């Protein structure tokens, strides 16, 4: 016998999924919606997010909200505006799934281009940090919030040719550890 969650397990829960337009993010958003969550779909490609929103609604899920934001953005203002808008619209945030990320180049360190390196770090670390930071107050209003980060085995054990991605996932692991120490489960 295996665990089968109730269809309404996440009823009245607000969950944001980054990178929700495709891949793991899309599947996470669809799954949360199937179990009753109000899903906030965040990504940089509006038409992909709208497709996920439509899929959720056609399946009978709650109306999802599309939030367009490119985590490559290095200015804090768009993140702050997003948090302010959400604070005005929802009472709390039950979950934040930091899934968005860039792979970059699979090449030896000597061949990693600075532009690609910078973009991977901007999205995978800096954007994720800035989004998490501005959403912490909303998360802390929830009775039992969850903060989840997507990472990789190359973030725990470096592997040749994985360059910026591997280093960004090491940093993600570190960010998770720091936040776990700062906000222990009660």
Q: Is 32 a catalytic residue?
A: no
- Catalytic hit among 14, 32, 79, 165: 165
Q: Kindly state the tokens that stand for 181.
A: 């120490």
Q: Which two tokens stand for residue 162?
A: 């994985």
CA distances from 157 to 77, 163, 173, 184 (A): 35, 12, 11, 26
The C-alpha torsion from 26 through 133 and 121 to 98, rounded to 10°, is -20
Strand-pairing partners, residue 43, are: 68
Structure token pair of residue 168: 């960004």
Token couple for 100: 């968005």
| DSSP conformational letter for 16 | E
Return d(Cα 29, Cα 27) in angstroms, integer: 5
In three-state secondary structure terms, 95 is: strand
**Pairing of the two strands 38-43 and 14-18:** parallel
Q: Which residues are catalytic?
A: 165
């Amino acid at each position: 016998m295996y665990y089968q969650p109730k269809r309404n397990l996440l009823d009245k829960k607000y969950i944001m999924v980054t990178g929700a337009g495709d891949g793991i993010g899309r599947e996470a958003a669809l799954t949360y919606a199937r179990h009753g969550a109000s899903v906030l779909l965040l990504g940089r490609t509006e038409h992909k997010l709208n497709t996920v929103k439509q899929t959720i609604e056609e399946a009978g899920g709650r109306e999802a909200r599309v939030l367009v934001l490119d985590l490559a953005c290095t200015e804090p203002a768009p993140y702050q505006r997003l948090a302010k808008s959400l604070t005005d619209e929802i009472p709390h945030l039950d979950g934040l799934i930091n899934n968005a990320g860039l792979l970059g180049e699979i090449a030896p360190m000597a061949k990693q281009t600075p532009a690609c390196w910078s973009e991977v770090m901007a999205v995978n670390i800096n954007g994720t940090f800035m989004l998490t930071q501005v959403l912490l107050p909303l998360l802390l209003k929830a009775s039992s919030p969850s903060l989840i980060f997507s990472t990789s085995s190359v973030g725990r054990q470096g592997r040749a040719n994985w360059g910026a991605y591997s280093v960004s996932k090491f940093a993600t692991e570190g960010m998770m550890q720091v936040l776990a120490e700062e906000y222990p489960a009660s």
